Amino acid sequence: MPSSSPDSTAAMTEALRRHIHDIRGHLSPAMLRADSLALSKDERTRTAARDIIAALEATTKELSAMRRLLPARQP
């Protein structure tokens, strides 16, 4: 099986960077909404919001770990 050319590897890396960035962007409104719900007077709503926030934070942590696996950008 032939190895990828440097150009195709660089293109794939940049595509992955864009996808990670876009996924984080998609999660941002959910985090803002969950933060708002965490201020609710209703305990069940606050508990649910904390669960959502924890899941979103874990997801963004995993995305950050994925990003760190990518090679550094070349000038």
pLDDT tens digit string along 2-39? 556 778 889 999 999 999 999 999 999 999 999 999 99
> Is the model's pLDDT at 74 over the cut of 80?
no
d(CA 22, CA 15): 10
- Residue 3 covered by a domain: no
Q: Which residue range(s) make up the domain with 36?
A: 25-70
- Residue 47 covered by a domain: yes
pLDDT at 5: 74
- Residue 43 covered by a domain: yes
pLDDT at 73: 79
- Residue 6 covered by a domain: no
- Residue 9 covered by a domain: no
**How many structural domains are present in the chain?**
1
pTM for the full predicted model: 0.81
Query: When comparing pLDDT for 70 and 3, which is higher?
Result: 70
- Residue 41 covered by a domain: yes
> Is the model's pLDDT at 1 over the cut of 70?
no
Question: How buried is 34 (Cβ within 10 angstroms: 0-12 exposed, 13-18 middle, 19+ buried)?
Answer: buried
